[in-house]
Amino acid sequence: MNNDIGIRTLWTGDPAEQEELLKREWLVTNGLGGYASGTISGVPTRRFHSLLTAALSDPRGRYVMLNQLSELVRFPDGSSQKIGGIELADGSLDLYGMSSLREFRLESGLPVWRYEVADHVIEKWIMMPYMSNTVLVKYRLVSGTGPLRLKIRLAVHFRRHEASLAEGFPLDSYDLKASAGRLEIHGFSMPPLRLYVDGENPAFTIEAKRFSDILYRIEEQRGYEAQGNLWSPGYFRVDLAVGKDVTLIASAESRESTMALTPAETFQAELERRRRLLAAARPELNNGLTKQLVLAADQFIIAPVERGSETSRICATGGDVRTIIAGYHWFTDWGRDTMISLEGLTLATGRHSEAGHILRTFAHHLRDGLIPNLFPEGESEGVYYTADATLWFFHALDRYIERTGDRALLRELLPKLLDIIEHHVRGTRFGIHCDPGDGLLVQGDPRYALTWMDAKLGDWVVTPRRGKAVEINALWYNALRLMEKWLQEENLSSNSIEMAKRADVTRLSFNQRFWNAQTGYLYDVVDGESGQNDPACRPNQVFSLSLPHPVLDQAHWHSVFQAVKDRLLTPVGLRTLSPDHPDYKSHYHGDLRARDASYHQGTVWPWLLGPYTDAWLRVYPDQRKEARDFLDQLLERHLHEACIGSVSEVFDAESVYAPRGCIAQAWSVAEILRVWMKVA
């Protein structure tokens, strides 16, 4: 296996590189929703940065348990070198000798730092074992005269990962148990954090310290509380010799499970698991950058450990529970994001059984013809304010059946699919119903934003889009045609004929109502709150010709596609609003209100390159090479600039198209993987 799959950055020690060290981030996950993450420099810039954020059982959710490590290496001549860094509220920034950092790379998706000091080369690796709330930090003296003395100081503040920096356990409330080089840190009603070092002559020294007024610069930029404190119980010390690894193990699991394998065996098991992931993926994805996306896809597919009762019920019937985290660091699993991401994250990567588990998991939560919009952090019940997630469920199921031929799952779900259609026809929650006059789907509730353009702050719904939204009706038509096909295949001809008639009416009405001859593209919403049609040029119209069953008349394909290309396309995705609109915002920054005001008012979303590419190839089927070149340029540019090896949630709408939002987003990775395979 070739571990070097194309993500490698060299550093010269030039002070001008400092900002890059602070902006570029890394992410490691554990298949449970837990993660480790930080900046290449080691300076924490987000409240979410930690060495161990554990996914704990209901009702806790995800907790930061090991915030930071400060390492010092002492050389035989008595000199020393620090690794990592910190920034304080008074403006002081200590990068702890980052001039010695020569390389950061991903090996099999795992972050590796390479430091060169005098004649010594030291590497540091970080890994989380699959399905375990554990992190391993490995140090290796690659070359030089040893042994060296390594000192690793811990810093903690147990708190829910999305909580403010002031929340969580008081820093004077931890209980400490240390013996024989092992350490346990206890917080009230929490599993203990267990730590030990595997290496030559390890020991732990109790030397409590408090680190005050730490600045988290990205939190400050985003308008949140940006100063926090950490507590350190002391430090480990250990000898570092050439050819012998030293590994710090930190875990919220039981001692028995933590020690079941040696650190070397744990690393090898995880590397082998990643090798199998790459081997299972579609052969079209067998190059350096797309291999990395296959590994990035793995970060979002999880077993939701916090929903224990659900897991027990489903496992009792022979199933398994899987879902998709929408984005790191702060998203949970969202129905819409999961269904859009399913094909790219699971089917393109050969993870068919997990795709089936995901579909069953969400079908289990079907209520009143709707699947959940999201599951709030640490809660077992979903919330349902979405008009499109359930329609995307039909699309995801279609892609799954097309790839796997699993008719058993279709038959199992068919009664639920019929129930969904019936609820939408007669009306369900949030004003979702089919207009009997034209067959189009209506949605709207003044309390919620029900489409994917869902920014909301207090009572302010930024892009309400109440009425008949263009992509909702494209999805509705696609779902009706899929039901027509499935019912016919299952010899339910009378139901199939009914679906065909309803689809025919929807298509006729769609083309009569949404086509705007004056602009040459589609209205975004018709029959809006004041009975008006919204002529804003948004990317939502692309779904009318990108889905497997396009609702848009072919005569309009070229015009609609050209409008989207000319007004909305950027090198990193589609703008959410044309720049000539008075509500257009060119940049996504500032506090929460400012960001929400621009979230779908111009801000670029890379996941939209999926449907855009589908539409591109439908209009110009001979331009596969041009589409692939476009995607290649995006990957070459972006996989090195934000979260190394993954794809961000959003970008600014104007040059330099700075990455914003979540550092790693499921549907961004999924849709680029899916269509890259399509054009390969």
DSSP assignment letter at 147: -
> What's the CA gap between 199 and 203, in Å, rounded?
10
Count Cβ atoms below 10 Å from residue 422 Cβ, excluding itself. 11
Q: Record the tokens describing residue 442, joined without a space.
A: 């209506």
Alpha helices in 225-307 (DSSP H): 255-258, 263-280, 288-298
> What's the CA gap between 680 and 676, in Å, rounded?
6
Below-50 pLDDT ranges, the chain: 1-5
Q: Record the tokens describing residue 167, joined without a space.
A: 């929340």
DSSP assignment letter at 191: P
Question: Residue 309 has what pLDDT?
Answer: 67
Residue 98's nearest CA partner among 18, 213, 197 is: 18
- In order, the DSSP letters of 60-73 are TEEEEEE-EEEEEE
Residue 651's nearest CA partner among 575, 564, 567 is: 575
Whether the bond into 582 is cis, omega within 30 of 0: no
C-alpha distance from residue 121 to each of 100, 112, 117, 141 (Å) = 9, 13, 7, 6
Question: Residue 3 has what pLDDT?
Answer: 44
Three-state secondary-structure class, residue 10: strand
Residue 627's nearest CA partner among 66, 635, 256 is: 635
Question: Residue 172 has what pLDDT?
Answer: 83
Residue 96's nearest CA partner among 105, 87, 108, 106 is: 87
Average pLDDT score over the chain? 94
Environment class of 414 (CB within 10 Å of its CB; exposed 0-12, middle 13-18, buried 19+) = middle
Three-state secondary-structure class, residue 612: helix
> What's the CA gap between 435 and 438, in Å, rounded?
6
Domains of the chain: 4-266 (2.70.98), 281-679 (1.50.10.10)
Q: Record the tokens describing residue 592, joined without a space.
A: 């929460």
> What's the CA gap between 191 and 252, in Å, rounded?
6
- In order, the DSSP letters of 564-579 are HHHHHEETTEEESS-T
> What's the CA gap between 392 and 326, in Å, rounded?
15
> What's the CA gap between 108 and 636, in Å, rounded?
18
Give CA angle at 275 (270, 280), nearest 5°. 125
> What's the CA gap between 102 and 84, in Å, rounded?
14
C-alpha distance from residue 18 to each of 43, 93, 426, 643 (Å) = 11, 10, 59, 16
CA atoms within 13 A of residue 317's CA, in its CB half-sphere: 11
Write down the number of H helices and E strands in the chain.
Answer: 18, 38
CA atoms within 13 A of residue 474's CA, in its CB half-sphere: 25
Question: Tokens 């939204």 identify what position?
Answer: 469
DSSP assignment letter at 192: P
Q: Record the tokens describing residue 611, joined without a space.
A: 């449907």
Parallel, antiparallel, or unpaired: how do β-strands 573-575 and 604-605 relate? antiparallel
Count Cβ atoms below 10 Å from residue 271 Cβ, excluding itself. 17
Question: Residue 281 has what pLDDT?
Answer: 96
Question: Tokens 């991903």 identify what position?
Answer: 106
Residue 514's nearest CA partner among 467, 478, 482, 558 is: 467
> What's the CA gap between 511 and 525, in Å, rounded?
13
3-state secondary structure labels for all residues of 396-457: HHHHHHHHHCCHHHHHHHHHHHHHHHHHHHHCCHHHCEECCCCCCEEECCCCCCCCCCCCEE
Q: For the segment 214-224, what is each residue's pLDDT rounded down to a tens digit?
A: 999 999 999 99
Question: Tokens 């610069």 identify what position?
Answer: 217
Q: Record the tokens describing residue 533, joined without a space.
A: 């049609």
Q: Record the tokens describing residue 16, joined without a space.
A: 């001008």
> What's the CA gap between 160 and 279, in Å, rounded?
36
Residues 6+ apart with CB under 8 A from 604: 570, 572, 573, 574, 575, 576, 650, 651, 652, 653, 657
Please state whether the predicted TM-score (pTM) of the whole model is above 0.75.
yes
- In order, the DSSP letters of 519-556 are TTEE-SEES-TTS--B----GGGGHHHHSSS--S-GGG
Q: Record the tokens describing residue 342, joined without a space.
A: 């399913």
